[in-house]
Structure 1
Amino acid sequence: MTPTVVVGPVSRGSMLGALTAAALGVGFVEIRKSDGQATDSDRWVRCTTGPDYRDRHVVFGFRRDLVKSGDRVLMVDDWADTGATALAARALVHDCDAHWIGAACIVDALTNAHLRHDLPLRTLIDVRRL
Protein backbone atom coordinates (compact mmCIF):
# COMPACT_ATOMS: atom_id res chain seq x y z
CA MET A 1 0.00 0.00 0.00
CA THR A 2 1.41 3.40 -0.99
CA PRO A 3 1.46 6.10 1.70
CA THR A 4 -0.15 9.50 1.21
CA VAL A 5 1.83 10.93 4.15
CA VAL A 6 5.16 10.08 5.76
CA VAL A 7 5.76 10.96 9.40
CA GLY A 8 9.14 11.14 11.10
CA PRO A 9 10.07 11.84 14.71
CA VAL A 10 12.62 14.55 15.50
CA SER A 11 15.47 14.64 14.66
CA ARG A 12 16.92 11.92 12.46
CA GLY A 13 13.45 10.61 11.64
CA SER A 14 12.62 14.07 10.33
CA MET A 15 15.54 14.02 7.92
CA LEU A 16 14.95 10.46 6.73
CA GLY A 17 11.19 10.92 6.61
CA ALA A 18 11.41 14.11 4.56
CA LEU A 19 13.74 12.41 2.06
CA THR A 20 11.41 9.41 1.84
CA ALA A 21 8.36 11.63 1.33
CA ALA A 22 10.14 13.60 -1.39
CA ALA A 23 11.16 10.39 -3.17
CA LEU A 24 7.56 9.12 -3.01
CA GLY A 25 6.04 12.47 -3.96
CA VAL A 26 3.85 12.62 -0.84
CA GLY A 27 3.49 14.92 2.14
CA PHE A 28 5.67 14.88 5.25
CA VAL A 29 4.80 15.59 8.90
CA GLU A 30 7.41 15.98 11.63
CA ILE A 31 6.48 14.35 14.92
CA ARG A 32 7.77 16.75 17.57
CA LYS A 33 8.74 16.20 21.16
CA SER A 34 6.59 18.33 23.41
CA ASP A 35 8.61 20.66 25.61
CA GLY A 36 5.51 22.47 26.86
CA GLN A 37 2.14 23.79 25.81
CA ALA A 38 2.05 25.39 22.39
CA THR A 39 -0.21 28.39 21.85
CA ASP A 40 -2.24 26.31 19.40
CA SER A 41 -2.23 23.19 21.62
CA ASP A 42 -5.93 22.53 21.08
CA ARG A 43 -5.16 21.69 17.44
CA TRP A 44 -2.47 19.12 18.30
CA VAL A 45 -2.64 15.39 18.85
CA ARG A 46 -0.28 14.11 21.51
CA CYS A 47 0.79 10.75 22.87
CA THR A 48 3.18 9.73 25.63
CA THR A 49 5.47 6.83 24.82
CA GLY A 50 6.15 3.80 26.91
CA PRO A 51 9.72 3.54 28.18
CA ASP A 52 12.30 4.18 25.47
CA TYR A 53 15.89 2.97 25.27
CA ARG A 54 16.79 5.39 28.08
CA ASP A 55 13.73 4.38 30.15
CA ARG A 56 12.12 7.80 29.49
CA HIS A 57 8.51 8.53 28.67
CA VAL A 58 8.42 11.12 25.87
CA VAL A 59 5.43 13.17 24.71
CA PHE A 60 5.21 13.28 20.90
CA GLY A 61 2.73 15.22 18.79
CA PHE A 62 1.87 17.14 15.66
CA ARG A 63 -0.82 19.49 14.42
CA ARG A 64 -4.03 17.54 13.93
CA ASP A 65 -4.80 19.13 10.54
CA LEU A 66 -1.58 17.78 8.97
CA VAL A 67 -2.82 14.18 8.90
CA LYS A 68 -6.29 13.82 7.44
CA SER A 69 -8.91 11.17 7.99
CA GLY A 70 -8.28 8.44 5.44
CA ASP A 71 -4.58 9.24 4.91
CA ARG A 72 -2.28 6.22 4.60
CA VAL A 73 0.67 6.92 6.89
CA LEU A 74 4.19 5.47 6.97
CA MET A 75 6.58 6.32 9.81
CA VAL A 76 10.31 6.56 8.99
CA ASP A 77 13.10 6.66 11.56
CA ASP A 78 16.75 5.69 11.91
CA TRP A 79 16.60 3.14 14.74
CA ALA A 80 14.01 0.89 16.38
CA ASP A 81 14.93 -0.29 19.88
CA THR A 82 11.90 -0.63 22.16
CA GLY A 83 9.33 0.32 19.52
CA ALA A 84 7.95 3.03 21.84
CA THR A 85 8.27 5.82 19.28
CA ALA A 86 6.57 3.80 16.55
CA LEU A 87 3.77 2.77 18.90
CA ALA A 88 3.21 6.42 19.85
CA ALA A 89 3.25 7.44 16.18
CA ARG A 90 0.67 4.76 15.39
CA ALA A 91 -1.57 6.05 18.21
CA LEU A 92 -1.30 9.61 16.85
CA VAL A 93 -2.21 8.41 13.35
CA HIS A 94 -5.24 6.53 14.70
CA ASP A 95 -6.29 9.63 16.66
CA CYS A 96 -6.53 11.43 13.29
CA ASP A 97 -8.70 8.61 11.84
CA ALA A 98 -5.93 7.84 9.37
CA HIS A 99 -4.64 4.42 8.29
CA TRP A 100 -1.29 3.23 9.71
CA ILE A 101 0.71 1.41 7.03
CA GLY A 102 3.72 0.63 9.22
CA ALA A 103 7.20 1.77 10.13
CA ALA A 104 10.49 1.74 8.25
CA CYS A 105 13.83 2.13 10.01
CA ILE A 106 17.47 1.71 9.09
CA VAL A 107 18.49 -0.36 12.12
CA ASP A 108 16.39 -3.04 13.82
CA ALA A 109 17.39 -3.35 17.48
CA LEU A 110 13.92 -4.30 18.71
CA THR A 111 13.82 -5.89 22.11
CA ASN A 112 10.29 -7.21 21.48
CA ALA A 113 10.29 -9.39 18.37
CA HIS A 114 6.47 -9.41 18.18
CA LEU A 115 6.50 -5.70 17.27
CA ARG A 116 8.09 -6.46 13.89
CA HIS A 117 4.82 -8.08 12.88
CA ASP A 118 2.43 -5.92 14.93
CA LEU A 119 3.66 -2.53 13.69
CA PRO A 120 4.63 -3.85 10.98
CA LEU A 121 8.29 -2.82 10.88
CA ARG A 122 10.65 -3.04 7.91
CA THR A 123 14.36 -2.35 8.33
CA LEU A 124 17.59 -2.38 6.34
CA ILE A 125 19.87 -4.08 8.86
CA ASP A 126 19.71 -5.96 12.15
CA VAL A 127 21.76 -4.46 14.99
CA ARG A 128 23.60 -7.77 15.44
CA ARG A 129 25.14 -7.32 11.99
CA LEU A 130 26.67 -3.95 12.84
Structure 2
Amino acid sequence: MDYKEYIRVIPDFPQPGISFKDITTLLQNGEMYKNAINELKKMVSALKIDVIAGPEARGFVVGAPLAYALGVGFAPIRKSGKLPYETIEVGYDLEYGKDRLAMHTDAIQKGQNVLIADDLLATGGTISTSVDLVQQLGGNVVGAAFLIELSALNGRAKLPGVEVFSLMTYED
Protein backbone atom coordinates (compact mmCIF):
# COMPACT_ATOMS: atom_id res chain seq x y z
CA MET A 1 0.00 0.00 0.00
CA ASP A 2 1.32 3.44 -0.86
CA TYR A 3 0.78 5.44 2.32
CA LYS A 4 2.52 8.43 0.75
CA GLU A 5 -0.75 9.12 -1.06
CA TYR A 6 -2.16 10.03 2.35
CA ILE A 7 0.67 12.33 3.43
CA ARG A 8 0.33 16.03 2.68
CA VAL A 9 3.67 17.59 1.74
CA ILE A 10 3.91 21.28 2.56
CA PRO A 11 6.83 23.12 0.96
CA ASP A 12 8.78 25.75 2.90
CA PHE A 13 7.25 24.93 6.29
CA PRO A 14 8.21 25.81 8.97
CA GLN A 15 10.94 27.64 7.08
CA PRO A 16 12.16 28.00 3.49
CA GLY A 17 13.78 24.86 2.13
CA ILE A 18 11.92 22.45 4.42
CA SER A 19 9.47 19.99 2.86
CA PHE A 20 7.13 19.23 5.78
CA LYS A 21 5.48 15.79 5.82
CA ASP A 22 2.05 16.28 7.39
CA ILE A 23 0.58 13.05 8.79
CA THR A 24 -2.77 14.62 9.76
CA THR A 25 -4.24 13.65 6.40
CA LEU A 26 -3.37 10.00 7.09
CA LEU A 27 -4.80 10.25 10.61
CA GLN A 28 -8.07 11.67 9.24
CA ASN A 29 -8.66 8.53 7.18
CA GLY A 30 -9.69 5.87 9.70
CA GLU A 31 -9.06 2.94 7.40
CA MET A 32 -5.58 4.11 6.35
CA TYR A 33 -4.63 5.04 9.93
CA LYS A 34 -5.70 1.58 11.09
CA ASN A 35 -3.82 -0.07 8.20
CA ALA A 36 -0.66 1.92 8.96
CA ILE A 37 -0.70 0.91 12.63
CA ASN A 38 -1.39 -2.72 11.69
CA GLU A 39 1.49 -2.67 9.21
CA LEU A 40 3.85 -1.28 11.84
CA LYS A 41 2.59 -4.03 14.15
CA LYS A 42 3.58 -6.64 11.57
CA MET A 43 7.00 -5.04 11.13
CA VAL A 44 7.84 -5.25 14.84
CA SER A 45 5.92 -8.39 15.78
CA ALA A 46 9.07 -10.57 15.95
CA LEU A 47 10.50 -8.35 18.70
CA LYS A 48 9.83 -9.14 22.32
CA ILE A 49 8.24 -5.86 23.44
CA ASP A 50 7.06 -5.15 26.97
CA VAL A 51 6.23 -1.48 26.56
CA ILE A 52 6.21 1.21 23.87
CA ALA A 53 7.53 4.69 24.63
CA GLY A 54 6.63 7.67 22.45
CA PRO A 55 7.64 11.32 22.55
CA GLU A 56 4.95 13.97 22.49
CA ALA A 57 2.91 14.75 20.64
CA ARG A 58 2.85 12.72 17.45
CA GLY A 59 4.65 9.84 19.11
CA PHE A 60 1.46 9.44 21.12
CA VAL A 61 -0.70 9.01 18.00
CA VAL A 62 1.64 6.31 16.68
CA GLY A 63 2.86 4.68 19.88
CA ALA A 64 -0.39 4.41 21.86
CA PRO A 65 -2.42 2.64 19.15
CA LEU A 66 0.57 0.42 18.35
CA ALA A 67 0.84 -0.50 22.04
CA TYR A 68 -2.88 -1.29 22.07
CA ALA A 69 -2.55 -3.45 18.93
CA LEU A 70 0.35 -5.37 20.49
CA GLY A 71 -1.31 -5.65 23.91
CA VAL A 72 1.53 -3.88 25.74
CA GLY A 73 1.77 -0.74 27.84
CA PHE A 74 2.56 2.78 26.66
CA ALA A 75 4.97 5.19 28.37
CA PRO A 76 4.75 8.87 27.36
CA ILE A 77 7.88 10.95 26.90
CA ARG A 78 7.08 14.60 27.51
CA LYS A 79 8.73 17.96 27.54
CA SER A 80 10.13 19.13 30.86
CA GLY A 81 7.52 20.20 33.40
CA LYS A 82 4.59 18.34 31.81
CA LEU A 83 4.56 15.15 33.91
CA PRO A 84 3.00 15.23 37.40
CA TYR A 85 5.11 12.60 39.15
CA GLU A 86 8.83 12.21 39.84
CA THR A 87 10.79 12.35 36.56
CA ILE A 88 14.18 11.99 34.98
CA GLU A 89 15.16 14.45 32.24
CA VAL A 90 17.65 14.65 29.41
CA GLY A 91 18.53 17.78 27.47
CA TYR A 92 19.13 17.84 23.74
CA ASP A 93 19.93 20.33 21.01
CA LEU A 94 17.38 21.65 18.57
CA GLU A 95 18.16 23.38 15.32
CA TYR A 96 17.61 26.73 17.04
CA GLY A 97 18.15 26.12 20.72
CA LYS A 98 17.81 23.44 23.35
CA ASP A 99 15.02 21.43 24.93
CA ARG A 100 14.50 18.73 27.56
CA LEU A 101 12.51 15.52 27.53
CA ALA A 102 11.25 13.70 30.61
CA MET A 103 9.76 10.40 31.72
CA HIS A 104 8.26 9.27 35.00
CA THR A 105 10.84 7.39 37.03
CA ASP A 106 8.49 4.38 37.14
CA ALA A 107 7.54 4.43 33.43
CA ILE A 108 10.00 1.67 32.53
CA GLN A 109 11.01 -1.19 34.78
CA LYS A 110 14.59 -2.42 34.79
CA GLY A 111 15.06 -5.08 32.10
CA GLN A 112 11.89 -4.28 30.15
CA ASN A 113 12.13 -4.43 26.37
CA VAL A 114 11.06 -1.10 24.92
CA LEU A 115 10.09 -0.08 21.40
CA ILE A 116 10.21 3.66 20.77
CA ALA A 117 7.56 4.90 18.35
CA ASP A 118 7.13 8.27 16.68
CA ASP A 119 5.68 9.74 13.52
CA LEU A 120 8.97 10.73 11.90
CA LEU A 121 12.69 10.03 12.01
CA ALA A 122 14.60 13.07 10.76
CA THR A 123 17.92 14.04 12.37
CA GLY A 124 17.47 11.55 15.22
CA GLY A 125 17.81 14.06 18.07
CA THR A 126 14.47 13.42 19.74
CA ILE A 127 14.72 9.67 19.34
CA SER A 128 18.30 9.39 20.58
CA THR A 129 17.25 11.42 23.63
CA SER A 130 14.29 9.04 24.08
CA VAL A 131 16.68 6.07 23.89
CA ASP A 132 18.86 7.71 26.55
CA LEU A 133 15.87 8.19 28.88
CA VAL A 134 14.74 4.57 28.49
CA GLN A 135 18.25 3.27 29.10
CA GLN A 136 18.69 5.46 32.19
CA LEU A 137 15.57 3.81 33.60
CA GLY A 138 17.08 0.38 32.94
CA GLY A 139 15.07 -0.44 29.84
CA ASN A 140 16.41 -2.31 26.83
CA VAL A 141 15.59 -0.51 23.57
CA VAL A 142 14.75 -3.28 21.10
CA GLY A 143 13.81 -1.00 18.20
CA ALA A 144 12.31 2.21 16.95
CA ALA A 145 9.26 2.42 14.67
CA PHE A 146 8.17 5.36 12.52
CA LEU A 147 5.51 6.20 10.00
CA ILE A 148 8.06 8.26 8.03
CA GLU A 149 11.82 8.36 7.73
CA LEU A 150 13.66 11.24 6.04
CA SER A 151 16.67 9.25 4.91
CA ALA A 152 18.70 12.23 3.66
CA LEU A 153 18.95 13.54 7.24
CA ASN A 154 20.60 10.28 8.38
CA GLY A 155 18.80 10.02 11.73
CA ARG A 156 19.73 6.32 11.92
CA ALA A 157 23.32 7.35 12.55
CA LYS A 158 22.27 8.69 15.98
CA LEU A 159 20.72 5.32 16.84
CA PRO A 160 23.61 2.85 16.81
CA GLY A 161 22.51 -0.64 17.74
CA VAL A 162 18.80 0.24 17.48
CA GLU A 163 16.82 -1.60 14.79
CA VAL A 164 14.78 0.96 12.84
CA PHE A 165 11.41 0.23 11.19
CA SER A 166 9.89 2.80 8.82
CA LEU A 167 6.61 2.54 6.98
CA MET A 168 7.59 5.21 4.42
CA THR A 169 10.90 6.70 3.38
CA TYR A 170 11.43 10.09 1.74
CA GLU A 171 14.72 11.15 0.21
CA ASP A 172 14.08 14.89 0.76
TM-score between both structures, scaled by the size of structure 2: 0.65
Corresponding residue number in structure 1 for 2:89: 46
Deviation at 1:38, TM superposition (A): 6.2
* 1:9 to 1:109, Cα distance in 2 relative to 1, 3 A: same
Deviation at 1:117, TM superposition (A): 5.5
* 1:102 to 1:55, Cα distance in 2 relative to 1, 3 A: farther
Q: State yes or no: 1:119 paired with 2:119.
A: no
Distance (whole Å) between structure 2 residues aligned to residue 24 and residue 12 of structure 1: 19
Partner of residue 25 from structure 1, selected from 71, 78, 87: 71
Corresponding residue number in structure 1 for 2:113: 72
1:77-112 CA-partner distances (Å, limit 9, x unpaired): 001111011100110011011101121111111412
- Segments of structure 2 that go 5 or more residues without pairing to the other structure are 1-46
- The percentage of aligned residue pairs carrying the same residue is 28
Runs of 4+ aligned structure 1 residues displaced above 6 Å come to none
Q: How many residues are aligned here?
A: 124
Deviation at 1:39, TM superposition (A): 6.3
TM-score between both structures, scaled by the size of structure 1: 0.84
Distance (whole Å) between structure 2 residues aligned to residue 30 and residue 10 of structure 1: 7
> Is the radius of gyration larger for structure 1 or structure 2?
2
Give the alignment of 1:52-91 within 5 angstroms.
Answer: 54-91=95-132
